[in-house]
C-alpha cells in the first residue's frame, strides 16, 4: 500500500488598512509514492483568516489556482462590495480614476488598474493582484467614510420616530439620506447633501409650504429644479453640482439631491403641507 506525501509552500499576501499585514495561502500537492505513479493533484488550502480589507467578496466564484510564481488575484471585473470602493477611492487619490467610487469593479476600474500597473512596470492585466494592491497601499492613505461614498450609495439609517406617521420627507444628517415616507413605509430613498458650516441646513420639524418645479435662486442666481421649500429659503431640490462632484461640495443650506429622476418622481408625489423632518 502506497504512502501519501504533502508538500506545502507559503505565499505572502500584502493586505491592510494602515500597514502591511500578511495573509498566508498554502498550496499543497498530493501524490502517490512507490512503484505506482499517478498525476499529481494540486489542492489550495487556506491558512488563517483573511483580512476583511483584502479578502475577495464571499460570493465570488472559486478562482483557478494561481500558477507558481504569480501573485494571487484579489479582485477583478464584476466583483462588488466595500473592498472595491476602497480600491476605487485609492485610485482616485492618485488621479487614476475620476468616477465613483461605485463599489462595482467595472470597465473604468479595470482601465485605471491597468494604467497604474503599466506605469510601475507591472503586468498590465487590469486585475488587482497582491503586488498591485501592496504598491497602491504604499502610495495612498486610508479612505474615510465619505471618500468611500463620495458619490452616494451609502446605506440609510433608521427613520426618526417623528417620520413614522403620515406623509414625510425624513432627512438624516448622520447617513446623509432622504426617505420619502408614507405611513411608516419608505417609498424612495436617495443620498442628499447639506449646507456648509457657514450656511447650515436647519434641523427640526417643518412642512412643505411651496413647490416650484423650475425655480431659480434670486439670492445666488442658481437653478433649483424641483424645489420643495420647508424653512424660509431652504428647500429640497435637485443639484447638478452634487451630481457632478458629490460630497466634495456643499449647498447654501438647502437639501441637495443628485438623482434627477428620483426627485422628479418625488416632486410629483409630495404635496404642500407634507411634513419635513431634518434630524441627526
Contact between 238 and 263 under an 8 Å Cβ cutoff? The reply is: yes
Compute how many other C-beta atoms are within 10 angstroms of the C-beta atom of residue 16.
Answer: 16
Contact between 175 and 154 under an 8 Å Cβ cutoff? The reply is: yes
DSSP string, 35-101: S-----EEEEEE-S---TTTSPPTTSPPPPPPPTTSPPEEE-TT-BSHHHHHHHHHHHHTTS--S--
Closest CA to 192 of 163, 154, 158: 154
Helix (H) or strand (E) holding 223: strand 223-231
DSSP string, 239-252: -HHHHHHGGGS-BS
Asked about 215 being catalytic, the answer comes back as no
Asked about 26 being catalytic, the answer comes back as no
Q: Which residue in 26, 42, 237, 279 is the catalytic one?
A: 237
Q: What are phi and psi of 91, to 5 degrees?
A: -65, -35
Q: Which residue in 163, 170, 215, 254 is the catalytic one?
A: 254
Chain centroid to CA 223: how far?
29
Task: Just list the catalytic residues.
Answer: 237, 254
Amino acid at each position: 500500500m502506497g504512502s501519501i506525501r504533502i508538500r506545502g509552500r507559503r505565499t505572502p499576501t500584502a493586505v491592510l488598512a494602515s500597514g502591511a499585514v500578511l495573509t498566508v495561502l498554502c498550496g499543497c500537492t498530493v501524490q502517490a509514492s512507490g512503484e505506482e505513479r499517478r498525476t499529481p493533484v494540486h489542492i489550495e488550502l487556506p491558512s488563517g483568516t483573511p483580512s476583511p480589507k483584502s479578502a475577495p467578496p464571499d460570493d465570488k466564484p472559486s478562482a483557478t489556482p494561481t500558477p507558481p510564481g504569480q501573485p494571487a488575484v484579489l479582485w477583478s471585473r464584476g466583483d462588488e462590495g466595500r473592498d472595491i470602493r476602497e480600491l476605487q477611492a485609492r485610485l482616485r487619490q492618485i488621479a487614476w480614476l475620476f468616477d465613483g467610487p461605485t463599489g462595482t469593479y467595472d470597465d473604468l476600474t479595470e482601465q485605471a488598474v491597468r494604467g497604474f500597473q503599466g506605469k510601475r512596470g507591472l503586468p498590465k492585466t487590469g486585475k488587482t493582484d497582491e503586488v498591485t494592491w501592496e504598491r497602491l497601499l504604499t502610495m495612498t492613505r486610508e479612505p474615510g467614510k465619505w471618500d468611500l461614498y463620495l458619490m452616494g450609495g451609502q446605506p440609510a439609517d433608521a427613520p426618526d420616530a417623528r417620520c413614522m406617521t403620515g406623509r414625510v420627507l425624513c432627512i438624516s444628517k448622520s447617513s446623509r439620506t432622504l426617505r420619502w415616507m408614507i405611513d411608516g413605509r419608505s417609498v424612495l430613498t436617495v443620498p442628499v447633501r447639506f449646507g456648509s458650516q457657514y450656511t447650515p441646513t436647519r434641523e427640526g420639524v417643518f412642512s412643505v409650504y411651496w413647490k416650484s418645479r423650475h425655480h431659480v435662486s434670486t439670492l445666488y442666481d442658481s437653478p433649483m429644479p424641483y424645489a420643495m421649500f420647508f424653512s424660509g429659503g431652504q428647500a429640497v431640490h435637485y443639484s447638478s453640482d452634487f451630481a457632478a462632484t458629490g460630497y466634495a461640495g456643499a449647498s447654501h443650506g438647502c437639501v441637495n439631491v443628485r438623482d434627477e429622476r428620483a426627485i422628479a418622481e418625488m416632486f410629483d408625489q409630495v404635496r404642500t403641507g407634507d411634513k419635513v423632518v431634518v434630524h441627526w
